[in-house]
A = this chain, B = another copy of it.
Amino acid sequence: MRLVGFKEFTRVEDAVNKLLSYVNVSLDVIELPINESLNYVCAEEVRAPYDIPPFDRSAVDGYAVKALSTTSASPFNPIYFKVLGTVEAGDDISNLRPVGEYDAYLVFTGARIPQGADAVVPVEDTVSGDGEVRILRPVPPYANISRRGEDFKEGDVILNVGVQIKPWHIAALASANISKVRVYRKVRVSIINTGSELVELGSELSSGKVVNSTKFLIESYLKMINVEPVVLGIVPDDLEVIRGTVISALNNSDIVIITGGTSVGGKDLVPEAVEGIEGSIKVFHGVAMRPGRTTGAYVVKGKPVLIVSGLPVACLVALEVFLKPLVSHLNKTEEVPKPTISGYLTRKLANEVGFKSFYRVSICRNSNGDYYIEPLRLTGSGILSTLIRGNGILVIPENVEGYEAGERVTAEVINPIPECDDSKIT
């Protein structure tokens, strides 16, 4: 039995960087119809095949004219223009008579601008009559015209490798008449749970047993960050079985997460199982963070194997700290910052210097729009309710001893923020 505690804890940032430096996974590229590509990461450079918009078009309903002819127009000095016709969005204008000095076409939003016109006077600034229109205000050249290529010029980059595809990217591809896009297939992450206390959801709970809830936490977390979970579930406490399961998981996925068995105690079969795999490299075991300090990581032939606590809060922190950067790394993408809020801490919070700490907090908004951040009293890594009764995470860096009551701090928001019960704020 190896009954010794952790000798040292790797700094979070060092652990992440070291892990990323060992990883060597390349994701297959697949081609998807653009309307199925949301949240995938683009794997090619896409350029506009033509100018977008493909022609000058009116941005309003109004009269297309020569701007110079409107220079002296005012409500007291309306200028008369002859209306040559109407152009609707979608109309072909190639056979229309060009616009002369005091000619106008009634044009609708999206319509092509007839030859000779270089501005559109909005209908609000006109009075229309029998075959003519009075212009009440001057317009500068190109007023109310969306110019050809102003959105994208032919050859402009619309999408780049590493861009996570959002609705606006899909719309831009559509406007370029591009119907498919090459993306990286989703990262696949296997979930393996160890722990002789674990039983499957729906089992009868006999003495000492608990439901394997961490499997569900990880599975749904993976879905939340657009990763494909491969749920392998509970494996028995048998070195060979664990090792075999990890090897098979490595063959079928890009990253393996194993819960449980992370303490350095007598029953820790997991590190031993992973160490025994050919080509396995230990990256770290023990991280200077709370919760989650028992997190470990190995790399086998470039694929990461994360060993995380089976306790839900410690597990979630490990996913945030290690899995998310791994997934972004594999996807060659960057993350959008998380939603955060700045507010006043309601009570002093002490930190164990040298550890990066993730405190669960309860944030509320008072009637003035100020936010108050209350650290929750219960801090155990098994206390899932802190993520449900609370609505935020306050991260305290390694070199900070803590924060005073009333200090302004910034917390990440994970659930909606209610109004403060003002009677409770001190």
Residues 213-229 of chain A, each 1 if its beta carbon lies under 8 Å from chain B, else 0: 11111111101100000
| Residues in B whose Cβ lies below 8 Å from that of A209 | 90
**Can you name 8 extra interface pairs (CB under 8 A) apart from A38-B224, A337-B417?**
A35-B219, A53-B382, A112-B207, A112-B208, A171-B384, A172-B388, A177-B201, A334-B418
Annotate A25-49 by CB proximity to B: 1 below 8 A, 0 otherwise: 0000000001100110000000000
* A224 touching B61, Cβ below 8 Å: no
Q: Enumerate 11 A-B pairs (CB-CB under 8 Å) in ascending A order.
A: A35-B216, A53-B382, A54-B205, A86-B266, A108-B267, A110-B210, A156-B385, A173-B216, A174-B211, A174-B212, A176-B211
- Contact residues on A (Cβ < 8 Å of other chain), bracket: 35 or more
Q: Mark A7-39, 1 if CB is under 8 A from B, else 0.
A: 000000000000000000000000000110011
A89 touches B196 (CB 8 A): yes
**Interface majority SS (helix, strand, loop, mixed), chain A:** loop
Shortest 4 CB-CB contacts between residues of A and residues of B? A5-B124, A61-B265, A90-B197, A334-B416
In Å, the complex CA distance between A214 and B110 comes to 13
Contact indicator B177/A202 (Cβ below 8 Å): yes
A93 within 8 A of B: yes
CA separation between A409 and B216, bound complex, in Å? Answer: 40
A166, CB-defined interface residue at 8 Å: yes
Contact present for B415 and A210 (CB under 8 Å)? no
Contacts of A53 on B, CB cut-off 8 Å? 210, 382
- Asked if B339 contacts A123 (CB within 8 A), the reply is no
Tell me the chain A residues, 313-367 only, with Cβ under 8 Å from chain B.
316, 333-341
Indicate which residue in B150, B173, B336, B341 contacts A383 across the interface (CB closer than 8 Å): B150
Q: Which of B123, B201, B264 meets A265, CB within 8 Å?
A: B123
0/1 interface trace, chain A 155-196, chain B, CB 8 Å (1 if under): 010110001101111111111110100000000000000011
In the bound complex, how far is the Cα of B311 from the Cα of A384, in angstroms?
45
Inter-chain CA distance A209–B60, complex, in Å, is: 17
- Are A339's CB and B341's CB within 8 A? no
Q: A170, B216: Cβ atoms under 8 Å? A: yes
Please, which residues of chain B bring their CB within 8 A of the CB of A152? Answer: 385
Residues of B within 8 A of A151 (CB): 382-385
Tell me, rounded to whole Å, the shortest Cβ–Cβ distance linking A4 to chain B: 7
How close is A89's CB to chain B, nearest CB, in angstroms? 4
A128 in contact (CB, < 8 A): yes
- Report whether A413 and B336 are in contact in the complex, using a CB–CB cutoff of 8 Å: yes
Q: Considering the complex, which residues of chain A in the window 75-101 have a beta carbon less than 8 Å from any beta carbon of chain B?
A: 86, 88-94
